[in-house]
Structure 1
Amino acid sequence: MLYQLAKHRILETERLVLRPITLEDAEDLFEYASDLENTIHTFPTHQSIEETNWVIANLFMAAPLGNFAIELKENGKMIGTCDLRINEGEKSAELAYAINKKYWGNGYAPEAAKKLLDLAFKDLKIERLWAKFSAANPASGRVMEKIGMTKEGVIRHSKNLRGDFVDQVVYSRIE
């Protein structure tokens, strides 16, 4: 499964290129990772460009397989990230994504997520794709619905976001 993932390091859709994340993406990533509105439901807000560089080097570059920058074909702007977190033993994968709020509402998240869903089922031969989101962020659930995922349920008080425990909604798709 990881071999297949390694073979598909760059993916393309009609409007997007999904590619490895590099230190050259730091400014674009910091642009949205430093904005609380963008990160409130997902991950700690970045406080400096140095922190963003650390995250890129230690998270995305240290284990690059399955981690993709979302880049606009039209201008090369990195507008987000999407990930497939593979569990080979279970033949499953977790899908995750984050998009710069300046690009919300344009269908980029479902476009990128659908490409990873196709990769997961067609090339990686997984049995189950799943994703979760903060219940306070229903827009993320709409992305999941658009790519054919089904709501499984709610895991109560399962994520600590800035000292508040939030419920997470789980969606999945099997093929």
Structure 2
Amino acid sequence: MNQVTRERYLPPSDLPLPSLQPVLSTPRLALRPFTPDDAAEVQRLAGDRDVAATTRLIPHPYPDGLAEAFIRSLPEQYEHGKGATFAIALTDGALIGAISLAFHWEDQHAEMGYWVGKPYWNRGFCTEAARRILEFGFGPLKLSRVFANYLANNPASGRVLAKLGMRQEGCLRQHRLKNGRFEDLVLCGILAAEFPLARK
């Protein structure tokens, strides 16, 4: 049975996801569902040229309406067990980025992705948010593995993954066409048994 068919026959009621997307807290952050009111700030932060340059999929310029469409798509993805995308917000409510898990339930693993607005770089927010997402994935969701990737020309993202205990598992050469250039994509992953908090 191929992957598409297997995913089709995993009803949402059989998945370990909470019926409502939770809010996940850290000392400095709240990881919460996006709301329509976040659209303008998503466009402002993700639309920064330097943010777009560090990601696989964020375009630059960032088109009008894209943030609204992105936010509208998220509840259905969660409801059908395809993914959980969280707004990264400071405890005072300020939106600073996004982090997500895209689920592959048939293999009991997920792909993690994230971005943080440039004004909030180099302050440990991305690592803090990602560690909380791994706790969520390896804890209540009982995932066996979480993987992530980053453009080789963005070593800062690689350092975030290394701090989480992720191991480099390979490199896809010239895998992503970004701004007219082919970029290498570095693959990293971590198993539940390798994540200390997963065993608590």
Shared fold per TM-score greater than 0.5: yes
Tell me which amino acid in the other structure corresponds to 1:72. Answer: L
Asked if structure 2 preserves the Cα contact closer than 8 Å seen for 1:28 and 1:77, the reply is no
Query: In structure 1, what is the equivalent of residue 32 of structure 2?
Result: 19
Query: In structure 1, what is the equivalent of residue 120 of structure 2?
Result: 103
Query: In structure 1, what is the equivalent of residue 131 of structure 2?
Result: 114
* 1:8 Cα offset (Å): 5.0
Gaps (5+ residues) in structure 2? 1-13, 194-200
CA RMSD of aligned residues (A): 1.7
What secondary structure sits across from 2:69 in the alignment?
Answer: helix
Q: 1:50 to 1:155 in 2, by over 3 A?
A: same
Gaps (5+ residues) in structure 1? none
Tell me which amino acid in the other structure corresponds to 2:44. Answer: E
Query: In structure 1, what is the equivalent of residue 41 of structure 2?
Result: 28
Q: 1:34 to 1:88 in 2, by over 3 A?
A: same
Q: TM-score, normalised by structure 1?
A: 0.91
Query: In structure 2, what is the equivalent of residue 157 of structure 1?
Result: 174
Query: In structure 2, what is the equivalent of residue 45 of structure 1?
Result: 60
What secondary structure sits across from 1:116 in the alignment?
Answer: helix
Please state if 1:171 is matched with 2:185: no
Within 1, Cα distance between the matches of 2:174 and 2:16?
36
Asked if structure 2 preserves the Cα contact closer than 8 Å seen for 1:134 and 1:167, the reply is yes
Which range moved further: 36-45 or 9-18?
Answer: 36-45
What secondary structure sits across from 2:71 in the alignment?
Answer: helix
Query: In structure 2, what is the equivalent of residue 71 of structure 1?
Result: 89
2:144 to 108, 127, 148: 127
Within 1, Cα distance between the matches of 2:60 and 2:170?
27
Q: TM-score, normalised by structure 2?
A: 0.80
1:33-63 residue CA offsets vs partner (Å, 9 max, x unmatched): 21111111212125344232222223x3442
The size of the alignment, in residue pairs, is 173
1:136-161 residue CA offsets vs partner (Å, 9 max, x unmatched): 00000111011111111211111121
